[in-house]
């Protein structure tokens, strides 16, 4: 009991100190925030370390620390097939999207990725920006709700709070520091978060692996206690079912191609030299964290056979393998990292409301006030969603990730390749990609059998061309894949 009290005390002290540091960063960053470009893009002067690490942290946080770890804990070795897709998306965004996105954004004054998407939409430009802005707001509410849910899990496990108390406390703390400063504050905070995550992803998995008897001990325990499919890279599936599974979860990485809060880092990076160095830093971080969390998940399965909540595995392992004080520091650091991801989402969501939906034009000269009020309103909506629609962190993030990736990714890809879709084709592609993501989320599963967001991406990509046949084609391809997917599930069962 004394250990538990000591752990809770250390968590609280560390958390308070961390949040005070975030507020200080916000105050300092506010001195460099003079206009809308500063607030949403940091004046387009971001260096490689801040760009690379803030990108990496914004990509992951609650998803990789809790959701991804829980997914590997549940599925086993076969779940690791998603990692090549995630890291591959890093390369596509930084090395392929980066040059055009950064150069055009600077030359034409784009503030958001929606500006880039709608830049050549002609008379449809207003519609494209408005639809894109609404979709960003909707999906980010789900995304932010996942982060609030992750924070609530930590507060529940460490302070014996109810779920709604954990959600409200996490949301309140996040809102306080998110309102303090703009993009610079968010990026510096995320850089700090990335460093903490990398450190934890090295230390805690090593401790867990050692406690479980090393690699040999983990394999021995899992071979004796788990079904053979758990350690099978194919997950016990037949060839075609495995190909669908592996390709599907690897395609989750494609969702990064349409994420506004990630693309903002490429729009804000200082120059091409900083972009190349930022990519090296980001990809190195991604390898460390994803490998570390996979080791933690498999070692955790050997240590804790039937964890009640796989997405809280990190907290359980920290309590088990570390002294109370060190466990408290780790848990507080992870909680802070999870919570600070929301600031990137809030910045991107308020940018969508202020810039894409035209609030900056209606309230000229008061953009900062409107942005902060929008953040507060979005927090309220996300809290309501968190409490009213229970779902796993993995499910919520995967839906939001896939929806934006399918809606925006193909259009950005086409523009980077030099193809300029017509305005109506852009609108059709956005709606087709988003709609098919919803269809697959409702009728499919996020348990490893679904094809991820790939069919929705194909729908949107086909819609880019805009010819009459190709406006029908987007609906035929994913429906055919959906039929095959449902059939394959029945065959497997």
pLDDT tens digits along 171-201: 777 777 666 656 777 777 788 878 888 888 8
Q: Residue 280: pLDDT above 90?
A: yes
- Asked if residue 475 has pLDDT above 50, the reply is no
Give me the mean pLDDT over the 259-266 stretch.
Answer: 87
pLDDT at 493 over 50: no
pLDDT for residue 440 is more than 80: no
Instruction: Inform me whether the pLDDT recorded for 278 exceeds 90.
Output: yes
Which DSSP string do the residues of 217-239 spell out, in sequence order? HHHHHHHHHS-GGGG-TTTT--H
Going along the chain from its start, the domains and CATH numbers come out as 2-392 (1.20.1730.10)
Partners of 269 in beta bridges: 46
Across the range 319-328, mean pLDDT stands at 75
pLDDT at 31: 66
d(CA 342, CA 143): 9
Percent of the chain at pLDDT > 90 equals 17
For residue 461, pLDDT over 70 is answered with no
Mean of the per-residue pLDDT values of the chain = 77
**Cβ contacts of 267 within 8 Å, gap of 6 or more:** 41, 44, 101, 102, 105, 106, 110, 113, 116
Distance CA 107, CA 101 (A): 10
pLDDT digits (tens, 9 = 90+) for 14-27: 667 766 776 777 67
448 falls in which pLDDT band (50, 70, 90)? very low
Q: Please tell me which residue, 220 or 336, carries the higher pLDDT value.
A: 220
Tens-digit pLDDT profile for residues 45-101: 788 998 899 888 888 766 788 778 888 998 899 999 989 989 999 999 999 998 999
Output the pLDDT for position 285: 94
pLDDT at 309 (0 to 100): 75
Separation CA 262–CA 233 (nearest Å): 30
pLDDT of 413 > 80? The answer is: yes
Interval 436-448 mean pLDDT: 64
pLDDT at 331 over 80: no
pTM to 2 decimal places: 0.79
């Amino acid at each position: 009991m004394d250990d538990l009290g000591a752990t809770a005390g250390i968590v609280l002290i560390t958390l308070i100190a961390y949040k005070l540091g975030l507020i200080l960063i916000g105050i300092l960053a506010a001195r460099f925030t003079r206009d809308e470009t500063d607030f949403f893009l940091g004046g387009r002067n971001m260096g490689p370390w801040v760009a690379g690490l803030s990108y990496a942290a914004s990509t992951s946080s609650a998803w990789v620390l809790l959701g991804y770890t829980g997914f590997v804990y549940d599925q086993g070795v076969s779940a690791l097939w998603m990692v090549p897709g995630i890291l591959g998306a890093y390369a596509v965004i930084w090395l392929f999207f980066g040059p055009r996105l950064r150069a055009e954004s600077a030359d034409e004054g784009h503030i958001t990725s929606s500006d880039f998407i709608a830049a050549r939409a002609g008379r449809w430009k207003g519609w494209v920006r408005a639809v894109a802005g609404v979709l960003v707001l909707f999906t980010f509410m789900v995304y932010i709700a996942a982060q609030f849910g992750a924070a609530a899990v930590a507060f529940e496990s460490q302070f014996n709070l109810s779920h709604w108390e954990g959600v409200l406390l996490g949301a309140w703390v996040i809102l306080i520091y998110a309102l303090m400063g703009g993009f610079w504050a968010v990026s510096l905070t995320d850089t700090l978060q990335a460093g903490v995550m990398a450190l934890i992803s090295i230390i805690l998995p090593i401790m867990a692996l050692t406690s479980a008897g090393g690699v040999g001990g983990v394999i021995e325990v899992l071979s004796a206690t788990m079904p053979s499919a758990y350690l099978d890279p194919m997950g016990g599936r037949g060839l075609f079912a495995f190909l669908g599974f592996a390709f599907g979860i690897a395609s989750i990485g494609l969702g990064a191609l349409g994420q506004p809060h990630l693309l903002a880092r490429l729009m804000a990076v200082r120059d091409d030299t900083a972009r190349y160095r930022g990519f090296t830093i980001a990809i190195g971080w991604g390898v460390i964290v994803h490998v570390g969390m996979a080791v933690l998940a498999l070692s955790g399965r050997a240590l804790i056979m039937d964890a009640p909540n796989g997405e809280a595995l990190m907290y359980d392992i920290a309590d088990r393998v570390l002294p109370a004080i060190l466990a408290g520091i780790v848990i507080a650091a992870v909680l802070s990292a999870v919570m600070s991801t929301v600031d990137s989402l809030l910045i991107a969501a308020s940018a969508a409301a202020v810039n894409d939906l035209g609030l900056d034009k209606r309230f000229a000269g008061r953009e900062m006030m409107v942005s902060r009020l929008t953040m507060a309103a979005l927090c309220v909506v996300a809290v309501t969603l968190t409490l009213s629609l229970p779902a796993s962190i993995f499910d919520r993030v995967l839906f939001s990730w896939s929806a934006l990736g399918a809606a925006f990714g193909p259009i950005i890809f086409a523009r980077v390749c030099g193809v300029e879709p017509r305005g109506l084709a852009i609108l059709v592609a956005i709606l087709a990609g988003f709609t098919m993501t919803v269809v697959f989320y409702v009728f499919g599963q996020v348990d490893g059998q679904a094809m991820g967001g790939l069919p929705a991406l194909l729908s949107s990509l086909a819609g880019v061309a805009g010819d009459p046949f190709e406006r029908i084609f987007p609906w035929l391809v994913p429906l055919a894949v959906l039929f095959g997917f449902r059939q394959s599930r029945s065959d497997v069962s």
